[in-house]
Amino acid sequence: MRAVIQRVSKASCTVDGKVTGAIEHGLLILLGLEEADTMEDVVWLAQKIVNMRIFGDEQGLMNKSIQDLSGDILLISQFTLFAQTKKGNRPSFIRAARPDKAIPLYEAMTAELERLLGKAVEKGVFGADMKIDLCNDGPVTIVMDTKNKE
For residue 73, give the 3-state DSSP assignment: strand
Q: Virtual CA dihedral for 86, 90, 93, 94, nearest 10 degrees?
A: -70
Instruction: State how far the Cα of 126 lies from the Cα of 81, in Å rounded to an integer.
Output: 14
CB 30 within 8 Å of CB 81:
yes
The secondary structure of 27-41 as a DSSP string is EEEEEE-BTT--HHH
Instruction: State how far the Cα of 82 lies from the Cα of 76, in Å rounded to an integer.
Output: 14
CB 1 within 8 Å of CB 46:
no
Instruction: State how far the Cα of 136 lies from the Cα of 148, in Å rounded to an integer.
Output: 25
38 is catalytic: no
Catalytic annotation, pick one of 20, 38, 80, 141: 80
The set of catalytic residues is 80
